[in-house]
Amino acid sequence: MTTRRKFLQLSALTSALGVLLPSSAKASTKSNSPIVVSTWEHGLPANAAAWNVLSSGGLAIDAVEAGVRIPEADPEVRTVGYGGYPDSEGNVTLDACIMDENMNCGSVAYLQGIKHPISVARRVMDKTPHVMLVGEGAKAFALQQGFIEENLLTAEAKTDWKNWLKTRKVQQINIENHDTIGMLALDKKGNLSGACTTSGAAYKLPGRVGDSPIIGSGLYVDNEVGAATATGMGELMMKTVGCHLVVELMRQGASPEEACKGAVERIALKLGDYKVFQVGFLALNKQGEYGAHCIQPGFNYAVHDGNGAQLIDGKSLLKGA
Ligand code: ASP
């Protein structure tokens, strides 16, 4: 039991350090209303699939997996799964990770020929003692688990790649070139989970892996506090372990939006070239509150809860031209 003396000592210490008490130490306002949030407009149909799971009492971990499988299978979504932009050699290489309320996580990176990397990541989490499998090992595991090998390079993506070959202009992820799906959900039991899946930066160097399959960079979940996911130039989130930072800022008392803003400001403080890139963070806390923040204007996110679906513009650090 926390005695009054111990509480006063703790308060004095935390205020001397300039930190707030962990949110779990505050009066609990735990809500049992499910909610799902995800990055970008393609989050709308993805959230609808996740909502089907959540609204019938399903688990957050099942909801996020079901949700992000929608853009993974959609050839019109050019930055996730089937139909995603290839690397500079014309190979579609996919990165994904998933994390549940018990700190269980699974991840795959540089996976080729498998349409649903998120479900392979889920199998890594559920069926192996490991967190991450990459490349040929990840593919062999997927095939052994019954996933089918498919050609993921659509005719449209191939044409775009062939056009790109004419200039070979290096593509950085800026305001018009991005779109990983990161999804966070809170279920009826009050548990949080998240998923993140992408084909990564268009025409990247062969072998490049971004933030999206890296626990702590592209996704992080702490069921006591909240969850965060990211999109944009993955190297910036990797250098700052961005999503872990967002969750830790929420632990110190920041709202989801304030925490995302704090992570964007950390990037601006530490990484001199941030102005030419886009990064967007999205967070959901244990109380079902959500928020986002990004470097450039133009990042939006989708929300689905008992009140229906909406698409919201994230606030940005820079104000644009
Ligand atoms: N974050 C992803 C990556 O760097 C790309 C994106 O969000 O569009 O691979």
Please name every residue paired with 230 in a beta bridge, in sequence order, or none if there are none: 281
- Ligand 1 centroid to residue 5 C-alpha, Å: 48
Q: What is the pLDDT of residue 99?
A: 98
Closest-CA residue to 197 (of 123, 128, 133, 116): 116
pLDDT, one tens digit per residue, over 269-296 is 999 999 999 999 999 999 999 999 999 9
Mean pLDDT, residues 258-277 taken together: 96
- Ligand 1 centroid to residue 200 C-alpha, Å: 5
Domains and CATH numbers, the chain: 4-11+26-316 (3.60.20.30)
- Ligand 1 centroid to residue 8 C-alpha, Å: 45
Q: What is the pLDDT of residue 22?
A: 35
- 97 φ, ψ (degrees, to nearest 5): -150, 165
> Which residue minimizes the CA distance to atom 4 of ligand 1?
234
Q: What is the pLDDT of residue 84?
A: 93
pLDDT class for 72, splitting at 50, 70, 90? Answer: very high
Pocket lining for ligand 1, CB < 6 angstroms = 79, 173, 178-180, 198, 200-201, 210-212, 231-234
- Mutation probe of ligand 1 site: the residue of 211, 281, 282 with most atoms within 8 A of C-beta: 211
Residue 7: is its pLDDT beyond 60?
Answer: no
Residue 75: is its pLDDT beyond 80?
Answer: yes
Mark out the alpha helices in the chain (DSSP H runs): 4-17, 43-55, 60-73, 117-127, 135-144, 155-167, 234-240, 242-251, 256-270
SS (H, E, C) 140-192: HHHHHCCCCCCCCCCHHHHHHHHHHHHHCCCCCCCCCCCCCEEEEEECCCCCE
> Which residue, chain included where needed, has tokens 């062969």?
206
Calculate what percentage of the chain has a pLDDT beyond 70. 87
pLDDT class for 177, splitting at 50, 70, 90? Answer: low
Mean pLDDT, residues 23-52 taken together: 78
Please name every residue paired with 310 in a beta bridge, in sequence order, or none if there are none: 303
pLDDT class for 170, splitting at 50, 70, 90? Answer: confident
Q: What is the pLDDT of residue 132?
A: 98
Least confident piece of the model among 5-9, 102-106, 113-117: 5-9
- Ligand 1 atom closest to 231 (CA): 7
Whole-number mean pLDDT of the chain? 89
Mean pLDDT, residues 107-124 taken together: 98
Calculate what percentage of the chain has a pLDDT beyond 90. 84
Task: Annotate 233-253 with DSSP letters as a single string.
Answer: -HHHHHHHTHHHHHHHHHHTT
pLDDT class for 179, splitting at 50, 70, 90? Answer: confident
